[in-house]
Amino acid sequence: MRKTDDGLTTQPTIQVLERMFALIDVLAAKEGLASLKEISEKTGLHPSTAHRILNDLVAGRYVDRPEAGHYRLGMRLLELGNFVKGRLNVRDAALKPMRDLHQLTQQPVNLSVRQGDEIVYIERAYSERSGMQVVRAIGGRAPLHLTSVGKLFLAADDPSRVRAYATKTGLSGHTKNSLTQLTLLEKELAKARQYGVARDNEELELGVRCMAAGIYDDQGKLVAGLSISAPTDRLDESWLPKLQATAKHISEALGYLNNP
């Protein structure tokens, strides 16, 4: 058996944990109650071994035993999951992946969330080498329909809410490229829904283009957007897969499971 530097044997503890995880995985995959026999067969554990570990999990409320010989996941796991969820922070989860993406592109990488009819920039990875004349400051705001991230949020809304947004804001523009007509905006949102990414083609600022991918929480809700901004002639389409992968990585850190 392997020993640690302080002489403690680790193998029995690891074995017990592996068995416990196997039991929990079987229960998680079962919609209803799982019998001891079924659990034993699926984990490969002897019934007496499975029964002993399950008893300990029941004592800790990690597993429920509503009737003799039948088990399901317990409420303690839900309680702990809620604790974890409450402590998750999209900015904390995004910071390192954003910096890695910036190192790859050498262009500003922005993290934005929705507040009402605007997006708010809550974090950025940026350096002077990007050549960008304008970089949105943390805390800065912009209309939804003029930004790549904002379009992701509008694309997640139902059509009636998009029309209400257009009526309320008037779809005012900042540049000659701004989408100020509802029909044009709706076409752009349809593309965002289809491809899962959105773009800003000099609609907020002339000379600046952006591409964005969404960040989702454990319920599959769009909670933020990750975008790359670059001078118009420098935005490289080859960055898009990496942007999407980075957004997916951040989503997974928030508990998002994408199971097609």
- The pLDDT tens digits for 205-235 are 999 999 999 999 988 999 999 999 999 998 9
- Separation of alpha carbons 211 and 198, rounded Å: 6
Residues facing residue 143 across a β-bridge: 118
Using CB atoms within 10 A of its CB, is residue 249 exposed (0-12), middle (13-18) or buried (19+)? middle
CA 203 to CA 252: how far, in whole Å?
31
| CA gap 258, 260 in Å, rounded | 6
pLDDT value at 75 more than 80: yes
Copy the structure tokens of residue 146.
């003029």
Per CATH, which fold does 88-253 belong to?
Beta-Lactamase (3.30.450)
Q: Which residue has the higher pLDDT, 242 or 2?
A: 242
* Closest among 206, 205, 212, 203 to 184, alpha carbons compared: 203
Measuring CA to CA, which residue among 103, 89, 90, 88 is closest to residue 242?
103
- DSSP at 171: T
**H or E element at residue 120:** strand 118-125
Q: Which residue has the tokens 């002993």?
A: 52
Strand pairing of 197-201 and 208-216?
antiparallel
Quickly tell me which residue has 């990488």 as its tokens: 109
Structure confidence at residue 127 (pLDDT): 79
Q: Which of 205, 155, 135 is nearest to 177 (CA)?
A: 205
Looking at the chain, the domain(s) classified CATH 3.30.450.40 span 88-253
C-alpha 52/C-alpha 133 separation (Å) is: 66
Which of 8-17, 20-29, 145-154 shows the lowest mean pLDDT across its residues?
Answer: 8-17
Residue 116 · residue 109 · CB < 8 Å: no
Among 193, 258, 229, CA closest to 98: 229
User: Would you say the pTM of this structure is higher than 0.85?
Assistant: no
Say which DSSP state 177 is in. T
Per DSSP, the three-state class of 21 is: helix
Q: Is the pLDDT of residue 11 over 80?
A: no
Q: For 58-73, what is each residue's pLDDT tens digit?
A: 999 999 999 999 999 9
Q: Are 152 and 210 in contact (CB under 8 A)?
A: no
CATH number for the domain running over 11-83: 1.10.10.10
Q: Where in the chain is the domain with CATH 1.10.10.10?
A: 11-83
Tell me, what's the pLDDT at 85?
64
164-199: pLDDT as tens digits: 999 999 999 999 999 999 999 999 999 999 999 999
pLDDT at 138: 84
Other C-beta atoms lying within 10 Å of the C-beta of residue 148: 27
